[in-house]
Amino acid sequence: MSALFAPTLAARDRRFGYAMAAPAIVVLAAIILAPVALALATSLFDYTLMNMTFDRFIGFDNFVAALSSSEFANSMVVTTLFVIAVVALEFVIGFVVALMLTTVKRGKNIYYLILLIPLLINPVVVGLIWRMLLHPTLGIVNWLLGGIGVPDIDWLGHPGTAFWTVVLVDIWHQVSFMAVLLTAGLSALPTEPYEAARAEGAGTLQTFWYITLPLMKPVIAVTLLIRLIFAIKTYDLIYIMTRGGPGDATDLISYYIYRSAFARLNLGEAAAMAILLMVIVIVLTLALFRTMRARG
Amino acid sequence: MRVNMLLAATALVAVPMLAHGQTISILMESVPDTRFVQEVVPQFTEATGIEVDIEVVNYAEMHAKLVPQLVAPEGSYDVIVVDFYWVGEFIKAGWLQPLDDRIAESGFDTSVYVPVLFDLVGQVDGTTYMLPFYNYAMGLTYRKDLLEDPENQAAFEARYGMPLRVPETWEEYKNQVAFFTDREAGFYGVVNQGLRPDPIAMEWSNYLFANGGQFHDENWNPTLTTPEAVQALEDYKMMISEYGPVGAASFGFDEAFNVAAQGQAYSYLTYNMFRTAYDDPEISAVVGKMELAPVPNGGLNGAWGWAIPVSSPDPDAAWQFLQWIESPEIARQRAMLGGSPTRFDVFDDPELNATYPYYPALRALLDTAHNFPVFTYTPELVDIMGRELSLAVVGDKTSEEALAAIQEEFTELARRDGKIE
């Protein structure tokens, strides 16, 4: 009997481990769990900036209001399209750049530096710079295109083009993130499988398909996941470049939540939408992890 | 070590002085009029010993910075400036101190303020909560040189059967816009600011008034589905698609201003404070060529007011500052630096009129200006208008559909605010 109560070495190790991790867990709880819990509470009350009290409990009314709003539905659709577009395109471009970088022999650091520059710029600044460059009559982009006979393009004033303009600017800003992470992954791959493949006479495409891709799977999963989560949260670019317009063509969910809270002063409904968004991100994360692990 | 001793010595000297003096804090927006306040404020400190700490931030940050300080029992700002946008919300929430007792006690004269401004950022339902700070009423800025060109005048008269002059009717203005548009030459009759939410909502309000429309009747019943309102939106769409540069549907005021300032547009309906910017050769290619005129039938009013929040740590010093900054002499000094006036004594000052020849036009603009609906949900109404007007401009909705949507939501907001049954 007493053996059961006497702490084994492993149990003592585990307890010591918890003790060491405790401060970090407390800090994480304070800065992540507490705000999430507060948001969850806020979403269940009629809580507005005009009346900042938890007086009126309204259950799931805020969620119902959000889900039945056509503006919310539209921003969900726009956000989904935006996320698919930027993540897919940035992944493809980023992977190509990464593959090219691994074959570079000289001046690799210079390429890295150039790639990192957009990534180091604040999104607000990126938005402002591109708004200026893309000004239809005074910007340099249309001026250069005019030089080769292209008529002035309405980059941000037409719903279809505005969406793709924002996607392109996001790619310009974020593609290096993919490229840098994937390059790091590629440079860590073992060389033996490639030597074996070459000895067996495998071509470039075959090597890529049967060796590089399977080996890269964990890195790809993490890269896609991080980019996906950040893309869902895109806010700054929209605020600076389009304010969700023209019409509602670029009304991303984060910008809509911001307006619910600060233009409509309805923190309760904004919190409800933020919770819905968080659930979606968590589900996506789990799904992506599972598929990647299953195939890996 | 020496530095430390120096600091200590300075502190010893400074402490007795500070014990007498106080510091008041103000949160302000980074605009020219704030700069003019900063330039005159040392005189206040010299006269009263009260230090003034002015924190300057971007418009977008102001509301978010103010609210926590306003709801706190004691905030960090003694004085605040209030955009007319927020007046309904701030009054409803009870965040501003009534000033009537202080005004009576110190014999401060509020009759000097242009009434339409005092209604907007002064009195609310008979109680004075603010003193007008500066105005940003909207007006037509247009190319005076083109308007006064005899060849243009003859050609215009021949085509439209009316004289080419500063437009007195909306019809005249629309004809002028069509007349001066030459797309092939890259010259446009008008440049618009179609960006959501406030640029488009504010600009379109002028079109509504110009067409004889109103936001609501005297009982606050919204009137945005009237033929006048529909015509106003049709006009607005026409301006952007037929007579404006590519991209106007996405322009904020900076982009639109640049098109006009680079000499690519005949007119731009905008905030009057841009009038001085056209004469700055660093940013303008049309120095001396642009002039300001009222929108026919009256344009949109806009202004900021000074207020003392309920959470003000030192309301007495705050009132001392307000009295001083809005005294005739200091108001005149600020106007001389380029500030946008709110008072009759400044508008009538001969020296100022000599320096700024557009003062009579600015006065006329205020005399005819209409106010935006000020109630608790003004920011929400602007957001709704921004979305719906933009949808109409890009053709996703007809003018009637967009206006019906605004009407419906505006009615709901007015009801929620107790303005209508």
Please report the ipTM that was assigned to this predicted complex.
Answer: 0.86
Q: What is the reported pLDDT for A245?
A: 85
Chain A residue closest to B193 (CA)? A157
Mutate to test the interface with B, among A133, A145, A243 (most CBs of B within 10 A): A243
DSSP β-ladder status, B23-29 and B51-57:
parallel
pLDDT at B11 over 50: no
| pLDDT value of position A4 | 55
Q: Note the pLDDT tens digit of each residue in B320-368.
A: 999 999 999 999 999 999 899 999 999 999 999 999 989 999 999 998 9
- B21 falls in which pLDDT band (50, 70, 90)? low
Task: Give the pLDDT confidence score for residue B238 in this predicted structure.
Answer: 97
Q: Is A109 on the interface with B (CB under 8 A)?
A: no
Residue with tokens 């507490």: A34
pLDDT of residue B293: 95
Confidence check: pLDDT of B6 > 60: no
Determine, for residues B247 and A162 on separate chains, whether the beta-carbon distance falls below 8 Å: no
Closest by Cβ to B249, choosing from A49, A157, A264: A157
In this predicted structure, what is the pLDDT of residue A5? 57
The 10 Å CB-count burial string (b at 16+, else e) for A90-119 is: bbeebbebbbebeeeeeeeeebeeebeebe
Q: Identify all chain B residues contacting A155, using CB atoms and an 8 Å cutoff.
A: 247, 250
Instruction: For residue B17, name the pLDDT band (cuts at 50, 70, 90).
Output: very low
B201 confidence band (pLDDT: 50, 70, 90): very high
- Give me the residue from A52, A136, A246 closest to B245, CB to CB: A136
Backbone angles phi, psi at B52, to 5 degrees: -120, 120
Q: Does B63 touch chain A (CB under 8 A)?
A: yes
**A249–B63 CB contact, under 8 Å:** no
Q: Which residues, including other chains, have CB under 8 Å from residue A92's CB and lie 6 or more apart?
A: none
pLDDT tens-digit series, residues A57-78: 998 999 999 999 999 999 999 9
First-to-final CA distance of chain B: 73
Q: Which position has the token pair 């039938």?
A: B297
Q: Are the CB atoms for A150 and A67 separated by under 8 Å? A: no
Residue B342 has, within 13 A of its CA and on its CB side, a CA count of 32
Count the alpha carbons within 13 Å of A233 in the hemisphere toward its beta carbon: 11
Cβ separation of A156 and B250 shorter than 8 Å? yes
Q: Given a cut of 90, is residue B219 above it in pLDDT?
A: yes
Give residue B226's pLDDT.
Answer: 97
The reply to whether A270 touches chain B by the CB within 8 Å rule is: no
Residue A48: per-residue pLDDT = 85
Closest by Cβ to B71, choosing from A52, A243, A259: A52
Contact A50 B194 (CB under 8 A): no
Two structure tokens written together for A189: 């791959």
From B253's Cα to the closest Cα of chain A, the distance in A is 13
Mean pLDDT, residues B114-133: 93
User: Quick check: B196 contacting A, CB < 8 Å?
Assistant: yes
Give the nearest partner residue to B380 out of A71, A137, A263, using CB atoms: A263
Find the mean pLDDT for residues B176-183: 96
Specify whether the CB–CB gap between A9 and A28 falls below 8 A.
Answer: no
| C-alpha distance from A279 to closest chain B C-alpha (Å) | 27
Mean pLDDT over residues B78-102, rounded?
Answer: 93
A204 touches B at CB < 8 Å: no
Residues of chain A with pLDDT under 50: 1-2, 296
* B contacts of A248 (beta carbons < 8 Å): 387, 390-391, 396
Residues of A in contact with B92 (CB under 8 A): 50
Question: How long a stretch of residues is chain B?
Answer: 421
CA distance B150 to B143: 14
CA B2, chain centre distance (Å): 51
**Which tens digits make up the pLDDT trace of A116-169?**
899 999 999 999 999 999 999 999 999 999 999 999 999 999 999 999 999 999
| Nearest Cα residue in chain B from A131 | B255
Q: How confident is the model at residue B316 (pLDDT cuts 50, 70, 90)?
A: very high
SS (H, E, C) chain A: CHHHHCCCHHHHHHHHHHHHHHHHHHHHHHHHHHHHHHHHHHCCECCCCCCCCCCCECCCHHHHHHHCCHHHHHHHHHHHHHHHHHHHHHHHHHHHHHHHHHHCCCCHHHHHHHHHHHHHCCHHHHHHHHHHHCCCCCCHHHHHHHHCCCCCCCCCCCHHHHHHHHHHHHHHHHHHHHHHHHHHHHHCCCCHHHHHHHHHCCCHHHHHHHHHHHHHHHHHHHHHHHHHHHHHCCCHHHHHHCCCCCCCCCCCHHHHHHHHHHCCCCHHHHHHHHHHHHHHHHHHHHHHHHHHHHHC
Q: What's the pLDDT score for residue A265?
A: 83
- Assign 3-class secondary structure to chain B: CHHHHHHHHHHHHHHHHHHHCCEEEEEEECCHHHHHHHHHHHHHHHHHCCEEEEEEECHHHHHHHHHHHHHCCCCCCCEEEEEHHHHHHHHHCCCECCCHHHHHHHCCCCCCECHHHHHHHCEECCEECEEEEEECCEEEEEEHHHHCCHHHHHHHHHHHCCCCCCCCCHHHHHHHHHHHCEHHHCEECCCCCCCCCHHHHHHHHHHHHHCCCCCECCCCCECCCCHHHHHHHHHHHHHHHHHCCCCHHHCCHHHHHHHHHCCCECEEEEECCHHHHCCCCCCCCCCCCEEEECCCCCCECCEEEEECECCCCCHHHHHHHHHHHCCHHHHHHHHHCCCCCCEHHHHCCHHHHHHCCCHHHHHHHHHHCECCCCCCCHHHHHHHHHHHHHHHHCCCCCHHHHHHHHHHHHHHHHHHCCCCC
CA distance A190 to chain B (A): 51
Please tell me the predicted confidence (pLDDT) of residue B1. 40
Predicted pLDDT at B15: 41
Average of pLDDT values for B257-269? 96
Return the pLDDT at B8: 45
Please give the average per-residue pLDDT across B212-235, as a whole number: 97
Largest CA distance in chain A: 90
The answer to whether A123 faces chain B, any CB pair under 8 Å, is no
Q: What is the pLDDT of residues B135-165, one digit of tens each?
A: 999 999 999 999 999 999 999 999 999 999 9
- Give the Cα separation of B85 and B302 in Å (integer): 9
Provide, as residue numbers in chain A, all residues whose Cβ is less than 8 Å from the Cβ of B393.
246-247
Is any Cβ of chain B less than 8 angstroms from the Cβ of A265?
yes
pLDDT tens for A171-181 read 999 999 999 99
Contact at CB, B247 and A263, closer than 8 angstroms = no
User: Predicted confidence band at B13 (pLDDT cuts at 50, 70, 90)?
Assistant: very low
